[in-house]
Structure 1
Amino acid sequence: MTENPFVPEFGVPLKVEPMRVRRTYSGGMGIDHWHNEAGRFGLERPEEWLASVTPAINPGFAKEEGEGLSRVEWQGKSLVLKDLLTQFPQEMLGDEHCKNLGGELGILAKMIDSAERLSIQVHPDKEFSRKYFHSDYGKTECWYILQTREVQEQEPYLLMGFRPGVTRERWQHCYETQDIRGMIDCMHKVTPKAGEVWLIDGGFPHAIGPGCCLIELQEPTDYTLRTEKTRSDGSLLPEQLIHQGAGEEGLMECFHYDTLEEEQLRRLHCLEPECRACRDGSVWKKLVGVPYTQCFSMVSVQVKERVDLPSNGGFQVAVVVKGEGRILSRGGDTVLRQGEHFFLPARMGDFSLCSNGKEPFEVLLCYPPHSMPVPPQED
């Protein structure tokens, strides 16, 4: 087949511009430090969305055009990523991906930093989303804990999963009476550690506590249903942010009322990575994916010298967690620095990650559904 001369090669990573997003909670200090830009955004933008084609749902805030939609640097221009996917779906996403999902990205990656506890919440599973939101995507997500810290002498924590004895009737009573203490007592409280990976399925109750800095990979929606009607400052949340239009009965229906002992919680939701050591001392870790979920996959590559990674025919989102190095691809060399993130087009093909050798160098690779991570190649 003759190549279309007007279709770009896409042989190098596309650098994604920072996209800070407003939420109902405060935070972001950890993200600022990650970028070595302490205090740039204050506490009003606690999330950075990475290679996103998902608009942020922010009723109650002043409208910001394009909030949540990432832009990439391409041929000296700043372009909306979603527009590039529409214009060049096969080149950007891959032939097999387009057969399965069309021109949709299929994932959303974020960095989250909390200065306070988030609202007690739940996300829909696919069935609920189809019924109430006419969407094929729910909002199953996973958290890769980067670091934690004390906030105003309060230890970091996560709330998740119903404890034994909790029923829908009890949970609904807590909601109707706005018994926040009662809601908290219904859930497990766990202390997160750097390097842990937690899977939060649709329907699973949860809330990130203060002092948590993490990478979140999720299905590509912004559907969050909340059982708290007020923010931490006492101001009322818009009704849309409580039940997303599903109504209060729908809100209660969204939860899965399975209960767990703490041992079960850790066994089922704190994931054990699949590790592969390379000869040079580098480590490839599959953090999440099949068999835990079919919604997405995420790999951590801790590079000692060089890791050669074969293409699986699809795209990846690369996040530089720490350190500095390079990515070598058929289009040339690209410098990678901590805090930067890139869209790796399907047509880029095989690539290598190389450390500068001066400090630990870790890159996260995020994959959509139907796209299996391929371990490193070694001669």
Structure 2
Amino acid sequence: MEPLFLEPIFMDRIWGGSLLKDKFNYNITSPTTGECWAISSHEHGDCVISSGIYKGKRLSQLWNENKELFGNTPGDKFPLLTKILDANENLSVQVHPNDEYAKNNENGELGKSECWYIIDCNEDSEIILGHNAKSREELESMVNKNQWEKLLKIVKIKKGDFFYVPSGTIHAIRKGALILETQQNSDTTYRLYDYDRLDSTGSKRQLNIEKAIACTNVPDANFDRVYTVVLKDNFRCTTFVSNEFFSVHKLDIFGECKFKHNKPFSLYSVIEGSGKLVHGTSEYNLIKGVHFILPYDIDEFTFSGNMEIICSHI
């Protein structure tokens, strides 16, 4: 009965920068670190438990061998993945498949619906979210003619914004944004456009235009950003999204507050501030950049301090 703290995994990206080191004090030497895989059991980045009785074991190993920690949730893969992204330059314009398409075309991989919490961004930051094509034929024509300004929907962003990005949505994070991403446990991305830039070998990165067009939702869907807020004496809980893939909340802690834990398991990422987690007679220090899972057998716990925490669960 103890929380599972994890060691993040860092990924270099052509569009990465230094904010993961500068903002979270992670031990990173590369100047182009784009992604922190904070809670992940994916084969491309499988986090190690950093302390406690399961120290040294990978999250995928616990999922396979200790299902009781996760309420015996069915499935051969841990369902969620938490990342922090530093977009020092524009990410490619891309789309992710749904579960059915990924299963049939990507060796049983899960689909990838995701969502973004804007931790911080430049004053003029934007994202691409959606498209203007009225039919798949029009979509294909606009892509082939490189009519990106006509095709793509541009959205201004600010610190504290949240966006749900379901599978089949054309999207891109643009430069100047630091984002926490909650997603299905998948690493399948189909690129539509990459600004004709070159990688470290002097080559253009691979595009996946045929698959991307096949996966894109046409016409584009609009999603209302309607949040539920619960305010108590020492905390505020904002629910951003709750669907078949995940529920995502933001906890603002300003004091001591007790919580009931009635989920099979829950994922937590401290994105600002510091404090403590208390369970029974055990006390754990929490600082900005710490990520952990509360397993099934923890039914009550206490947060104290001044913190901003992103929480997710299935």
TM-score w.r.t. length of structure 2: 0.90
Cα displacement (A) at 1:118: 0.8
Q: Which amino acid aligns with 2:40?
A: S
2:271 is matched with 321
Aligned residues: 311
Flag the structure with larger Rg.
1
1:332 is matched with 282
2:140 is matched with 172
Contact 1:330 1:348 in 2 (8 A): no
Per-residue Cα deviation, 1:108-160 (whole angstroms, up to 9, x for no partner)? 1111110111111000012322332253731010101111026xxxx311011
Q: 2:19 matched to 1:30? A: yes
Q: Equivalent of 1:272, from 194, 202, 226?
A: 226
Closer/same/farther in 2, CA of residues 136 and 350 from structure 1, 3 Å limit? farther
1:107 is matched with 80
Closer/same/farther in 2, CA of residues 172 and 102 from structure 1, 3 Å limit? closer
Q: Equivalent of 1:41, from 12, 30, 34?
A: 30
Contact 1:143 1:214 in 2 (8 A): yes
Q: 2:181 matched to 1:208? A: no
- Alpha carbon RMSD of aligned pairs, Å? 2.3
Cα displacement (A) at 1:35: 1.6
Q: Equivalent of 1:86, from 57, 61, 64?
A: 64
Secondary structure in structure 2 of the residue aligned to 1:347: coil
| Bigger strand share | 2
Q: 2:311 matched to 1:365? A: yes
- Provide the C-alpha distance between the structure 2 equivalents of 1:217 and 1:15, rounded to a whole number of angstroms: 17
Secondary structure in structure 2 of the residue aligned to 1:12: coil
For 1:1-379, list aligned pairs within 5 A.
11-23=1-13, 25-37=14-26, 40-43=29-32, 45-56=33-44, 68-75=45-52, 77-90=55-68, 92-95=69-72, 97=73, 101-135=74-108, 137-149=110-122, 155-163=124-132, 165-177=133-145, 179=146, 182-228=147-193, 232-233=197-198, 235-237=202-204, 239=206, 242-243=207-208, 248-259=209-220, 265=222, 268-269=223-224, 271-280=225-234, 282-289=235-242, 293-330=243-280, 332-355=282-305, 360-368=306-314
Secondary structure in structure 1 of the residue aligned to 2:167: coil
Secondary structure in structure 2 of the residue aligned to 1:236: coil
Per-residue Cα deviation, 1:219-248 (whole angstroms, up to 9, x for no partner)? 110010011267623743564xx33xxxx5
- Provide the C-alpha distance between the structure 1 equivalents of 2:289 and 2:180, rounded to a whole number of angstroms: 11
TM-score w.r.t. length of structure 1: 0.76
- Provide the C-alpha distance between the structure 2 equivalents of 1:330 and 1:87, rounded to a whole number of angstroms: 25
Cα displacement (A) at 1:363: 1.4
Q: Which amino acid aligns with 1:148?
A: C
Per-residue Cα deviation, 1:78-116 (whole angstroms, up to 9, x for no partner)? 2212112222111x2113x2xxx2353211111111011
- Provide the C-alpha distance between the structure 1 equivalents of 2:96 and 2:75, rounded to a whole number of angstroms: 24
| Bigger helix share | 1
Closer/same/farther in 2, CA of residues 36 and 249 from structure 1, 3 Å limit? closer
- Provide the C-alpha distance between the structure 2 equivalents of 1:106 and 1:33, rounded to a whole number of angstroms: 30
- Identity fraction in percent: 23
- Provide the C-alpha distance between the structure 1 equivalents of 2:278 and 2:134, rounded to a whole number of angstroms: 53
Q: Which amino acid aligns with 2:15?
A: S
- Provide the C-alpha distance between the structure 2 equivalents of 1:297 and 1:144, rounded to a whole number of angstroms: 13
Q: Which amino acid aligns with 2:127?
A: L
Contact 1:122 1:226 in 2 (8 A): yes
Q: Which amino acid aligns with 2:37?
A: W
- Provide the C-alpha distance between the structure 2 equivalents of 1:112 and 1:35, rounded to a whole number of angstroms: 12
- Provide the C-alpha distance between the structure 2 equivalents of 1:22 and 1:192, rounded to a whole number of angstroms: 24
- Provide the C-alpha distance between the structure 2 equivalents of 1:320 and 1:195, rounded to a whole number of angstroms: 14
- Structure 2 unpaired stretches of 5+: none
- Provide the C-alpha distance between the structure 1 equivalents of 2:158 and 2:114, rounded to a whole number of angstroms: 18
Per-residue Cα deviation, 1:174-200 (whole angstroms, up to 9, x for no partner)? 4445x2xx2243111111111111011
Moved over 4 A (4+): none
- Provide the C-alpha distance between the structure 1 equivalents of 2:35 and 2:109, rounded to a whole number of angstroms: 24
Q: Which amino acid aligns with 1:31?
A: L
- Provide the C-alpha distance between the structure 1 equivalents of 2:264 and 2:27, rounded to a whole number of angstroms: 35
Secondary structure in structure 2 of the residue aligned to 1:79: coil
Closer/same/farther in 2, CA of residues 231 and 339 from structure 1, 3 Å limit? farther
Cα displacement (A) at 1:331: 5.5
Secondary structure in structure 1 of the residue aligned to 2:25: coil
- Provide the C-alpha distance between the structure 2 equivalents of 1:344 and 1:236, rounded to a whole number of angstroms: 44
